[in-house]
């Protein structure tokens, strides 16, 4: 075990301090839907439980039937769950389960694009040789190619063995790392900083010492590669990888045979940190994943917690959130465009300067509402931090009045440029079927002809009240994805215009003192408000036992949060489905048969942020 200070101290577990009903298990689903009814009729006693939980379809299935169930829901025409969106696992070590119950449960999120339905499948993981610390379950890689990387992540961070997996390697942690960090028996960090009045305290004995060996380990040759060809390291310090990403590229001359991404150089442990922080405090961590879309990160997390709480926020707060997230989408796409053009086209520096000019004006608006430009933490559970300042609306109107003209300028510079077209057209092609099977989302999906946008097709946060077009291209190459993102920026302006027109008066956060802090003015005149403020700041709010998945349409694709609550004020399990991580899986498929210079084009077209890939 790691040489660390104890996480739990005796005084924290004395009788009478903690609620004996916590931790608690998430309740099983109740009722039924047409889909769960059909699944139960087909599989009978192999279904442990099925129905609805927190408004979502959930099916618990015996582990020996997970592959058969996945095949059924994918290929049955009346169901058609053709895409696997996410895979994660729950370590139930700290939950009140019996000795006969499996310690680990694997959770799958499936999507039907044609029917606009979402299905959550949960299966217990039996142990190998009776050891509960060695869980195993069948891999779904034979059913959904999009399971390969998420299952590798679960294997790496949770230690679940996926039988039949085509590439069972660690994906974020070093190969020689001795533990699986998301397990509940592994401490949060290296060690706590002790509080003491004297340096002779024994707790200082290990302070500042390396807790694991620091020797360098030579990387292994990725499976399927041949040393008869040229094996080239691209990154992790290459400027065109847009972060600390290492690509192992196999070349025959200038032709790419294979690409294997090596991740984890920026692994920050957001999920582990989130499972030790109160619900309200993780908002500040979410900014730092995709640091080009902090507003979107805030929104996705807050919507997930609000769904668990059953909170409906005021209409004004919903509209403000839409404005902020659409401005964030434009800012993210602007930065993508500037860096992408600079990577592959001769007009790069000019475009980069122009898009930076517009992005700075958006960041000025963010600074106006919250005082920050990058790590904003503006969207909070129950609404937003503060109401819009008086000058915000007029400044925003001035900006959106000129943005469409600027978008036209960008297109005039690059859309029909011969260098731009030659570098993008026919490069990184992904067919419609491949995009769905790989679990790609966002412009990567719409650029391959799939007409899907969560804001329109599974609306959240008030998006059902807005009229906008979802841009779709069928070519599936880098040029198609460029066209999708350019049109998306125009549609963002359209949504913001509608939001400004319909911005109502009223509260900017929910008027529930159990969830939202009371106004500062009340603290001087109301003892009840002071008590609520004290309780929220010191303890946070408790969330009823349950679990929920919430996805939003981020600038790079579907950003999803999966949270399991045990009834306390801290998430028991907090998992983030980052679109950059899932979309990056396609890089090998996109690069094969092209030249080394096209690898740069494909990285830019995928639009990744390594803070979100590594999380």
The string of pLDDT tens digits covering residues 503-528 is: 999 999 998 888 888 888 888 888 88
pLDDT tens, 550-587? 999 999 999 999 999 999 999 999 999 999 999 999 99
What's the total number of domains in the chain? 2
Q: What is the model's pLDDT at position 613?
A: 85
Predicted local distance difference test score (pLDDT) of residue 247: 92
Domain boundary among 539, 564, 591: 539
The CA–CA distances, whole Å, from 584 to 258, 391, 422, 450, 591 equal: 14, 40, 23, 18, 12
Whether residue 397 contacts residue 388, with contact meaning beta carbons closer than 8 Å, is answered with: no
- The CA distance from 139 to 446, in Å, is 27
Confirm whether 610 is domain-assigned: no
Q: For residue 436, say if its preceding peptide bond is cis, omega within 30 degrees of 0.
A: no
- 428 sits in the region (left: phi over 0; alpha: psi -120 to 50; else beta) called left
Given a cut of 50, whether residue 126 has pLDDT beyond it is yes
Banded model confidence at residue 205, pLDDT cuts 50, 70, 90:
low
Do 159 and 302 lie in one domain? The reply is: no
Element housing 128 (H / E): strand 127-128
The whole-model pTM stands at 0.92
Check residue 196 and give its pLDDT.
60
Q: What is the pLDDT of residue 358?
A: 95
Would 380 be classed as within a structural domain?
yes
pLDDT at 11 over 60: no
Residue 417 pLDDT > 90: no
pLDDT the model gives residue 581: 92
Question: Does the pLDDT value for residue 12 go beyond 50?
Answer: no
Could you tell me the residue range of the domain that residue 407 belongs to? 294-539
Residue 411 has pLDDT above 80, yes or no: yes
- CB 118 within 8 Å of CB 560: no
pLDDT tops 90 at residue 23: no
Cis amide bond preceding 236, omega within 30: yes
Q: Look at residue 598 and tell me whether its pLDDT is greater than 90.
A: yes
**DSSP state string for 564-591:** EE-SSSS-SEEEEE-HHHHHHTTHHHHH
Same domain for 298 and 154:
no
Task: Name 604's bridge partners.
Answer: none
The confidence score (pLDDT) of residue 208 equals 59
pLDDT digit string (tens) for 336-382? 999 999 888 766 688 889 999 999 999 999 999 999 998 999 999 99
Provide the CATH number for the domain around residue 430: 1.10.645.10
Asked whether residue 341 is assigned to any structural domain, the reply reads: yes
From 115, 133, 163, give the residue that closes a domain.
Answer: 163
Task: Read off the pLDDT band of 1 (50, 70, 90).
Answer: very low
The domain that holds 94 is classified in CATH as: 3.30.460.80
Q: Could you give the CA distance from residue 230 to residue 46 in angstroms, rounded to a whole number?
A: 50
Tell whether 564 is covered by a domain. no
Let me know if residue 348 belongs to a domain.
yes
Q: Name the nearest CA neighbour of 564 among 582, 579, 578, 550.
A: 550
Distances (CA, A) of 56 to 34, 52, 53, 105, 359: 13, 5, 5, 18, 37
Mean pLDDT, residues 577-601 = 93
Instruction: Determine the average pLDDT of the residues in 474-485.
Output: 95
**What local confidence, expressed as pLDDT, does residue 6 receive?**
47
Residue 8 has pLDDT above 70, yes or no: no
Report the pLDDT averaged over residues 481-504.
96
The owner of tokens 């092209």 is 594
Phi, psi for 170 (deg, rounded to 5) = -65, 150
Tell me the CA end-to-end span of the chain in Å, nearest whole number. Answer: 24
Among 495, 518, 539, the domain-final residue is 539
Report the C-alpha dihedral over residues 564, 567, 572, 575, rounded to 10 degrees.
Answer: 30
140, 106 contact by CB (below 8 A):
no
């Amino acid at each position: 075990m790691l040489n660390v200070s104890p996480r739990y101290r005796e005084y924290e577990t004395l009788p009478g301090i903690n609620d004996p009903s916590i931790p608690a298990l998430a309740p099983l689903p109740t009722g039924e839907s047409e889909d769960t009814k059909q699944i139960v009729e087909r599989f009978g006693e192999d279904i442990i439980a099925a129905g609805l939980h927190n408004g979502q379809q959930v099916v618990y299935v015996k582990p020996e039937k997970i592959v058969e169930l996945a095949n059924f829901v994918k290929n049955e025409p009346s169901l058609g769950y053709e895409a696997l969106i996410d895979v994660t696992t729950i370590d139930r070590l700290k939950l009140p389960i019996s000795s006969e119950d499996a310690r680990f449960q694997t959770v799958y999120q499936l999507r039907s694009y044609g029917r606009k339905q979402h299905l959550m499948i949960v299966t217990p993981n039996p142990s190998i040789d009776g050891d509960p610390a060695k869980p195993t379950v069948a891999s779904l890689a034979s059913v959904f190619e999009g399971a390969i990387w998420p299952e590798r992540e679960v294997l790496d961070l949770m230690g679940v063995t996926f039988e039949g997996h085509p590439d069972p390697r660690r994906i974020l942690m070093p190969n020689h790392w001795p533990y699986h960090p998301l397990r509940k028996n592994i401490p949060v960090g290296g060690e706590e900083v002790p509080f003491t009045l004297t340096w002779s305290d024994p707790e200082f004995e290990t302070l500042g010492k390396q807790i694991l060996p620091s020797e360098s380990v030579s990387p292994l040759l990725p499976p399927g590669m041949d040393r008869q060809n040229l094996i080239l390291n691209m990154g992790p310090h290459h400027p065109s990888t847009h972060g600390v990403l290492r690509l192992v590229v196999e070349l025959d001359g200038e032709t790419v045979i294979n690409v294997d991404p090596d991740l984890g150089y920026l692994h920050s442990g957001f999920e582990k940190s989130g499972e030790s922080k109160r619900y309200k405090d993780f908002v500040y961590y979410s900014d730092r994943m995709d640091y080009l879309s902090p507003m979107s990160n805030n929104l996705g997390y807050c919507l997930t917690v609000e769904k668990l709480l059953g909170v409906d926020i005021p209409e004004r707060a919903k509209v403000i959130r839409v404005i902020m997230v659409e401005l964030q989408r434009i800012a993210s796409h602007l930065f993508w465009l500037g860096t992408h053009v600079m990577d592959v086209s001769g007009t790069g520096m000019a475009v980069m300067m122009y898009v930076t000019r517009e992005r700075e004006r958006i960041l000025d608006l963010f600074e106006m509402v919250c005082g920050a430009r990058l790590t904003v933490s503006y969207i909070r559970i129950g609404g937003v931090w503060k109401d819009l300042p008086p000058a915000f609306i007029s400044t925003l109107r001035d900006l959106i009045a000129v943005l469409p003209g600027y978008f036209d300028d960008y297109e005039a510079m690059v859309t029909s440029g011969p260098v731009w077209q030659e570098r993008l057209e026919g490069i990184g092609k992904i067919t419609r079927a491949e995009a769905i099977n790989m679990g790609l989302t966002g412009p990567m999906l719409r650029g391959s002809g799939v007409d899907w946008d969560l804001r329109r097709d599974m609306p959240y946060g008030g998006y059902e009240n807005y009229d906008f077009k979802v841009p779709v291209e069928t070519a599936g190459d880098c040029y198609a994805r460029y066209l999708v993102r350019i049109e998306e920026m125009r549609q963002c302006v359209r949504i913001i215009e509608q939001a400004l027109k319909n911005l109502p008066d009223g509260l900017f956060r929910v008027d529930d003192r159990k969830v939202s802090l009371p106004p500062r003015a009340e603290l001087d005149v109301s003892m009840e408000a002071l008590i609520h403020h004290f309780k929220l700041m010191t303890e946070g709010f408790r969330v009823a036992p349950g679990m929920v998945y919430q996805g939003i349409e981020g600038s790079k694709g579907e950003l999803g949060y999966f949270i399991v609550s045990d009834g306390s004020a801290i998430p028991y399990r907090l998992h983030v489905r980052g679109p950059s991580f899932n979309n990056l899986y396609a890089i090998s498929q996109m690069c094969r048969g092209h030249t080394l210079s096209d690898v740069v084009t494909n990285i830019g077209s995928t639009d990744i942020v390594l803070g979100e890939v590594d999380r």
